[in-house]
């Protein structure tokens, strides 16, 4: 089937899509957007987190046919022309990246959290990121990064 959807603000038309394949497969294999990672393929790890019509989802659990006409935002759409998104910069500055595999999903989930809750408590951060696994177990620096991003976004008055 032919699939038309908006990805990171740009309308895209993709041909020869098998409707039962996942949005994750479309992004990675058909559109060359490898930011969302493919790991568990069952919604356990959160490494494929993207925004679908402004809702945080696992791209592996969305069928390609379901995103016809939808608006998708991936980690690739976060940075500006010259600067990283404040959440990306906070992850770098806090040293919240080890092997880096879980980082894109965690960054997308963190952006989602801070858009809804500018000043989350630690338990709210843990709850919001509970669906994102870091196999390196670098969680304490990930929490540092979220707190740092919250403070910076708060200061910038930008959400």
Burial of 33 (0-12, 13-18, 19+ CB in 10 A): buried
Q: Which is nearer to another protein, 21 or 76 (CB)?
A: 21
Question: What is the dihedral angle through the alpha carbons of 50, 51, 52, 55, rounded to the nearest 10 degrees?
Answer: 130
Q: Closest approach of Cβ 122 to another protein, in Å?
A: 14
**Least distance to another protein, CB of residue 107, Å:** 14
3-to-7, 59, 66, 73 alpha-carbon distances in Å: 12, 15, 10, 16
Cβ 38 to another protein shortest distance, Å: 10
Q: How far is the CB of 125 from another protein (least distance, A)?
A: 12
Residues that bind another protein (CB under 8 A): 1, 18-20, 22, 41-44, 46, 49, 55-58, 60-63, 65-66, 68, 109, 112, 127-128, 130-132
Q: Of 18 and 93, which CB lies nearer to another protein in the complex structure? A: 18
DSSP-based three-state secondary structure for 152: helix
């Amino acid at each position: 089937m032919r699939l038309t959807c908006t990805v990171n603000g740009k309308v895209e038309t993709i041909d020869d899509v098998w409707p039962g394949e996942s949005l994750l497969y479309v992004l990675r294999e058909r559109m060359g957007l490898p930011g969302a990672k493919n790991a568990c393929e069952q919604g356990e790890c959160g490494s494929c987190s993207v925004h679908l019509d402004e809702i945080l989802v696992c791209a592996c659990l969305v069928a390609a046919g379901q995103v016809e006409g939808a608006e998708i935002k991936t980690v690739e759409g976060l940075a500006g022309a010259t600067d990283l998104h404040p959440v990306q910069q906070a992850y770098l500055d806090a040293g919240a990246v080890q092997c880096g595999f879980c980082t894109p999903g965690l960054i997308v989930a963190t952006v989602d959290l801070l858009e809804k809750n500018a000043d989350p408590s630690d338990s709210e951060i843990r709850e919001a990121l509970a669906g994102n696994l870091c196999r390196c177990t670098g969680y304490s620096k990930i929490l540092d990064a979220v707190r740092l991003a919250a403070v910076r976004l708060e200061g910038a008055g930008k959400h």
